[in-house]
Amino acid sequence: MNGVLYFIERDLTKWTRSKISVIASLVMPAAWLIFVGLALPVKFNNTNYINYITPGILVMTMLFASLAGGSLLIFDKMLGFLNKFLALPTPRESILFGKILFITFRGIIQSTIILILALVLGVKIYSLTSIFLIYLVLFIFGILFSSISTTIALVVDDHDGYAAVNSMISMPLFFTSSALMPYELMPSWLRILASLNPVSYAIDTARALFAGNIPLNGILELIVITVVVLVISVYTFRRATV
């Protein structure tokens, strides 16, 4: 556990020294929330569009933050730090778990700011239990895609290659999810893709929590997917040679 905390502290120190990157990472989701959520006078199920889109923006914030987090491992590889870390007596999983937890923690902070902005704009949350479960869903989702991003970063050789893979994954996942429109308004081909998209699982679960429901099945599905991906990530990291 000491090793995990060390790697979290190391990345946290680096992150807090770059305040511009923190602000920049909030601009796009905040713009989506304000300019899309408020600009479209659309109602779904007797609710304003901003109420509908807010869970999607929260999950999108976690998605982009998690996938961007893989660049931390890329830079460690390029600068030679990862070789030194792998040679330490600390278990290799400490490096992996430290990265995953820090990336998720960073995404939670960014999502909190977006959530506060949504509340200021009039989005309603029904109970403290719903707030806690929304954060639980975001945390699980962050672990899921942080595991994916660190695994990809372990395989990809350079930052440009990782940036290309990141772009290739993030936008299609978001636009083929249920973030922007309900399933019944989608074309049939998009409805199939959205129903299979893990991003949709997180968005639908968060959306149900905003409405005051407790979708245990959605939370359990996310947990199962996350555990499977995390096991694959640990296995890949144990066999890594840099």
CA distance 205 to 217: 9
Handedness of CA 207, 98, 147, 162 (dihedral sign): positive
Do 131 and 58 touch, CB atoms closer than 8 A?
no
Do 114 and 195 touch, CB atoms closer than 8 A?
no
Taking alpha carbons only, the member of 162, 151, 113 closest to residue 237 is: 151
User: Which tops the pLDDT comparison, 31 or 188?
Assistant: 188
User: Which tops the pLDDT comparison, 74 or 149?
Assistant: 149
Do 178 and 205 touch, CB atoms closer than 8 A?
no
Tokens of 84: 């030194």
Q: What is the SS3 assignment for 126? A: coil
Query: What is the residue range of 54's domain?
Result: 2-238
The confidence score (pLDDT) of residue 137 equals 95
Mean pLDDT check: name the lowest of 19-23, 119-123, 125-129, 164-168. 19-23
The confidence score (pLDDT) of residue 241 equals 64
Q: How many domains, the chain?
A: 1
Q: What is the pTM of this model?
A: 0.88
User: For 45-71, how does the pLDDT look when each residue is reduced to its tens digit (9 = 90+)?
Assistant: 566 778 888 898 899 889 988 888 888
CA distance 68 to 103: 9
- The phi and psi torsions of 18 (rounded to 5 degrees) equal -120, 80
C-alpha triplet 233, 235, 239: angle, nearest 5°: 115
Do 103 and 65 touch, CB atoms closer than 8 A?
yes
Residue with tokens 């999108």: 60
Q: What is the SS3 assignment for 124? A: coil
Do 139 and 205 touch, CB atoms closer than 8 A?
no
CA distance 117 to 120: 5
User: For 118-144, how does the pLDDT look when each residue is reduced to its tens digit (9 = 90+)?
Assistant: 888 888 888 888 899 999 999 999 999
Mean of pLDDT over the chain: 84
